[in-house]
Amino acid sequence: MSLLPVAEAQARLFALAPPLPAEEAPIAACTGRWLASDVLALRNQPWADLSAMDGYAVRATEWPGPWRVTGESAAGGSVPAPLPPGEACRIFTGAPLPAGADTILIQENATRDGDRLTASDDPLPVGRNVRLAASDFALNDRLLAAGTTLTPARIALAVLGGHGALPVGRRPKVALISTGNELVPPGAPTPAGSLPSSNAAMLAAMLAALPCDVIDLGIVPDDLGAMTAALQQATSADIIVSTGGASVGDHDMVRPAFAQAGGALDFWKIRMRPGKPLMAGTLGDAVFLGLPGNPVSAFVTATLFLLPLVRHRAGSAAPLPRTTQARLAALLPATADRDDYLRAYRGEAGIVSVTSQDSAATAAMAMADCLILRPADSPSAATGDTVTILPLMD
Ligand SMILES: Nc1nc2c(c(=O)[nH]1)N[C@H]1C(S)=C(S)[C@@H](COP(=O)(O)OP(=O)(O)OC[C@H]3O[C@@H](n4cnc5c(N)ncnc54)[C@H](O)[C@@H]3O)O[C@H]1N2
Ligand code: MOO
């Protein structure tokens, strides 16, 4: 198989399975999820012309008074009676204006003597300190579009629009499988020949930022039967992810085990560095992603494929990571025949790639807060050149 370009592999991955069915989730369970359909306003906001300040509702044309203070209007109280000419209504922030009033004189600029009121500042334009009915949004306005992620601000908007629950994509179940005879669980003793398995903990930490449920199926030895059984056990998940055993060595069991378990491989080997041995396919209703075992390769391929796949299946209309442009603080060598995803950080003087770009260099990876995207066959880049970067989650 020839090496597949990254964008093509991402498109093929999304084509393997549609977004999961929608469900109605209470607002408290919506954070970070994606809307399955448009959200319309069930009410006007504000519901009436409301005061934006504590003070007096008056007619601006009667400035500077004197007015006779008659009624009072407070948020949550009853709608005040219409305001006769020459009169003012004591009013508080968020309260409805009486009919006839059009402007709020704030109390700091008012002189009051009993029920006699005058303005002590310059005339105000009509409508000052008033929030007009439906000026934020009106009944039946489309507040949010399907496929939008529910940020805190959008949750506020939906709630003010009258919603207590929203239609969102179901949370994908993601099963993690670590493979390798050399691996021991985090924190366990590491006799010679063994090392702690870090990939599942790293992937779970990356996935914690997304609306999904992670099931860690633990460490599976480099054994065809054991790996086949682990994959079969994982088919109730929506996404199955393995790390390790993805390459061409005698102990790399993932591809044969996937075939043995009944999986249909869609692609293997991507034109990227790190991450070349990445593979994907379907196993029952689940989408399978086989990530390389090197921790840096697993990190980069999870950033470019696993997190986007979770977003896609959870209903995102824009599942790919965002990129931006930035200036280099140091030169970069020319690239070879694969796209480079260099681990880098944003320094005071610009972007700096970390010291080691080896796909097993975790100490260097831990310094990175972005990836520099360098297409295959790029010439060297000089200090001050603009490059494309992909900011990483903190
Ligand atoms: N002859 C070739 N050899 C290799 C090729 C190739 O094309 N031809 N590709 C290389 C590339 S690129 C990569 S990336 C690696 C990926 O190999 P695997 O996915 O088969 O990974 P493993 O061999 O199982 O492990 C690689 C490395 O990572 C360590 N590892 C594995 N799992 C974990 C884990 N859960 N936590 C921490 N560390 C882990 C493992 O001990 C190995 O050191 O293949 C190249 N070889
Ligand atoms: O693709 Mo491997 O991830 O280059 O080391």
- Among all chains, which residue has been given the structure tokens 């093509």? 8
Q: What is the pLDDT of residues 194-248, one digit of tens each?
A: 999 999 999 999 999 999 999 999 999 999 999 999 999 999 999 999 999 998 8
Ligand 1 contact, 157 CB (< 6 A): no
Q: What is the pLDDT of residue 1?
A: 54
Distance CA 242, CA 218 (A): 10
- The answer to whether the beta carbons of residues 94 and 75 sit under 8 Å apart is yes
276 CA closest ligand 1 atom index: 12
Q: What is the pLDDT of residues 165-198, one digit of tens each?
A: 999 999 999 999 999 999 999 999 999 999 999 9
What is the phi/psi pair of residue 156, to 5°? -60, -45
Give mean pLDDT, residues 55-79.
96
Dig out the tokens for 106 from the structure.
């704030």
- Cα(274) to ligand 2 centroid in Å equals 4
Q: Is 246 in the pocket of ligand 1 (CB under 6 A)?
A: yes
Nearest CA to ligand 1 atom 10: 247
Give pLDDT tens digits for 269-309. Answer: 999 999 999 999 999 999 999 999 999 999 999 999 999 99
- What does the pLDDT read at residue 77? 86
pLDDT at 91 over 60: yes
Structure tokens at 212: 């999904």
Distances (CA, A) of 112 to 73, 173, 287: 17, 65, 72
pLDDT tens for 24-40 read 999 999 999 999 999 99
Helix (H) or strand (E) holding 71: strand 67-73
Listed residue (299, 326, 310) closest to 381, CA to CA: 326
Euclidean distance between the first and the last CA atom of the chain, given in angstroms as a whole number: 36
DSSP tag of 353: E
Mean pLDDT of the chain: 97
What are the structural domains, with CATH classification, of the chain? Answer: 6-21+170-313 (3.40.980.10), 22-45+135-169 (3.90.105.10), 50-131 (2.170.190.11), 324-391 (2.40.340.10)
Tell me what ipTM this predicted complex has: 0.98
In the structure, what pLDDT confidence band is assigned to residue 145 with cuts at 50, 70 and 90?
Answer: very high
Give tens-digit pLDDT for 334-347. 999 999 999 999 99
Ligand whose nearest atom lies closest to the CA of 177: 1
Q: What is the distance between the alpha carbons of residues 75 and 51, in angstroms, rounded to a whole number?
A: 9
Categorize the per-residue pLDDT at 251 as very low, low, confident or very high, splitting at 50, 70 and 90: confident
- For residues 256-265, average pLDDT: 98
Report whether residue 194 contacts ligand 1, using a CB cutoff of 6 Å: no
